Amino acid sequence: MCWHVLGAGSLGSLWATRLARAGLPVRLILRDDARLAAYNTQAGLALDEKGQRQTFAILAQTVSADEPIQRLLVACKAYDAERAVAAIAPRLSDKADVLLLQNGLGSQDAVAAMIPHARCIFVSSTEGAYRDAHWSVVFAGQGFNWLGDTRRGAAPAWLSELERAGIPHQWTPDILERLWRKLALNCAINPLTVLHQCPNGELQAHAQEVTALCVELGHVLQRCGQPGAAEGLLDQVQQVIAATAANYSSMYQDVAQGRRTEIRYLLGHVCAAAAALDCPTPKLNQLRLRLIEHLSARGLPSD
Ligand code: NAP
């Protein structure tokens, strides 16, 4: 069974190259003919892991190819996922498996609602990768992938292919709890690093602000029926800040490089969920408005 990978960016390339390295059939799906022509001038997709570079001659196609898709890995940003999947939806077989790698929450439900005949599998990834050139990805951070579906279904048999490809993973019945927890950690740290223009560690100087955000995040998580994601949140936020003190958050890096952020699916999602549940979150709302102002001043989308 072929792995179709939609979006040959950082994470899509990291998955595609590892699957190809294990001898599994992989196809890249690129957005248009121009991207396909550019890719076809190359020898393939390169993976740099621990300083070792290897290129894989993975076949690519555009969204408009007619090959049916049984297993799709959606590796676009959250704000692109719905549109990208809409374009490919007619190619999905009945009972196709669609893995959604997007950070935050909101995009997964939007995609799932569009393709009710498919089985959507949500992935929460802590692996890190970035592109150092076109069609070349650097595996920058070891991590883990949690997979699960919201219907609490059984683990699919193809997980053994991830094992074979050396992609660290585990099937979980609580994927939403994982995604909410990661979302909460992100909301407590990333926007502040953008507003204070600092690496994670400098948030130790803003401990009161971080604590107040964690209190509100805890309330929202409880109200959303995710008490497990709320448990020990402040402690973990403090641990992450200390353990990654020298690092710049992904949102900081996006803004510094003039790239669109996924704010709508992170802080935006929490604030919207809180409003829908009449859960007061003045600090989070204020943080969101400050972040929107900061992004707008730099000409970046605030949704
Ligand atoms: P990325 O490097 O920007 O890659 C996204 C890719 O999607 C780009 O190659 C883009 O194509 C492609 N794309 C967008 N719309 C498309 C369409 N309609 N058809 C085909 N391709 C399309 O993003 P990323 O860093 O891999 O992140 C993907 C998701 O994973 C995000 O939600 C992110 O938060 C999450 N994540 C990333 C990491 C990481 O370390 N990178 C870690 C954990 C989670 P073009 O190149 O043509 O623009």
Per-residue pLDDT of the chain (303 residues; tens, 9 = 90+): 999 999 999 999 999 999 999 999 999 999 999 999 999 999 999 999 999 999 999 999 999 999 999 999 999 999 999 999 999 999 999 999 999 999 999 999 999 999 999 999 999 999 999 999 999 999 999 999 999 998 888 999 999 999 999 999 999 999 999 999 999 999 999 999 999 999 999 999 999 999 999 999 999 999 999 999 999 999 999 999 999 999 999 999 999 999 999 999 999 999 999 999 999 999 999 999 999 999 999 999 998
Q: Is the beta carbon of 115 within 6 A of some atom in ligand 1?
A: no
Q: Is 128 exposed, middle or buried (0-12, 13-18, 19+ CB in 10 A)?
A: middle
Q: What separation in Å is there between the alpha carbon of 76 and the centre of ligand 1?
A: 4
Q: Quick one: which H or E segment has residue 125?
A: strand 119-125
Q: Is the beta carbon of 261 within 6 A of some atom in ligand 1?
A: no
| Cα separations in angstroms, 228 against 103, 109, 221 | 19, 21, 8
Distance, CA of 192 to CA of 214 (rounded, Å): 13
Q: Could you give the residue ranges of the DSSP H alpha helices within 115-200?
A: 159-164, 175-195
In sequence order, what DSSP letters do the residues of 38-76 get, joined into one string? HHHTSS-EEEEETTEEEEE--EEEETT----EEEEEE-S
Q: Is the beta carbon of 2 within 6 A of some atom in ligand 1?
A: no
Residues 134 and 38 sit within 8 Å (Cβ to Cβ): yes
Angle 95-101-102 (CA atoms, 0-180°, nearest 5)? 120
Could you check whether 3-173 and 177-297 share the same CATH topology?
no
Tell the CATH superfamily of the 177-297 domain: N-(1-d-carboxylethyl)-l-norvaline Dehydrogenase; domain 2 (1.10.1040.10)
Q: What separation in Å is there between the alpha carbon of 102 and the centre of ligand 1?
A: 8
pLDDT of residue 151: 86
Residues 103 and 78 sit within 8 Å (Cβ to Cβ): yes
Q: What separation in Å is there between the alpha carbon of 94 and the centre of ligand 1?
A: 26
- Going by alpha carbons, the residue nearest to atom 40 of ligand 1 is 128
CATH no. of 3-173: 3.40.50.720
Domain positions in the chain = 3-173, 177-297
Q: Is the beta carbon of 251 within 6 A of some atom in ligand 1?
A: no
Distance, CA of 169 to CA of 143 (rounded, Å): 9
